[in-house]
Amino acid sequence: MPKLCKFTSPGDGKPVYVNPAQVSVVYTHKGEPADTIIAFRKDFLLGVRESLEEVVATLEAAKVDAAE
């Protein structure tokens, strides 16, 4: 089973957990402040408080750990 990645909900500051194997794209949505969006397939989007670089690094590290 892949390792779950912990991120922070921008609305209430509570933790959200993501399965990196199910992520299809990560991008930044312009706004004040800008949110990082994690997309699963084509119909589910999750906003997180962490920066785009932090999210990508965390997801990549989890995939590497799962492969070992």
Query: Which of 30, 53, 29, 31 shows the shortest CA–CA distance to 39?
Result: 29
* The pLDDT value given to residue 9: 93
Query: Which of 56, 51, 53 shows the shortest CA–CA distance to 18?
Result: 56
Question: What is the rounded CA–CA span in Å between residue 18 and residue 26?
Answer: 12
Q: What is the pTM of this model?
A: 0.84
Q: What domains does the chain contain, in order, with CATH numbers? A: 5-67 (2.40.50)
The per-residue pLDDT for range 24-41, each reduced to its tens digit, is 999 998 877 778 999 998
* The pLDDT value given to residue 67: 65
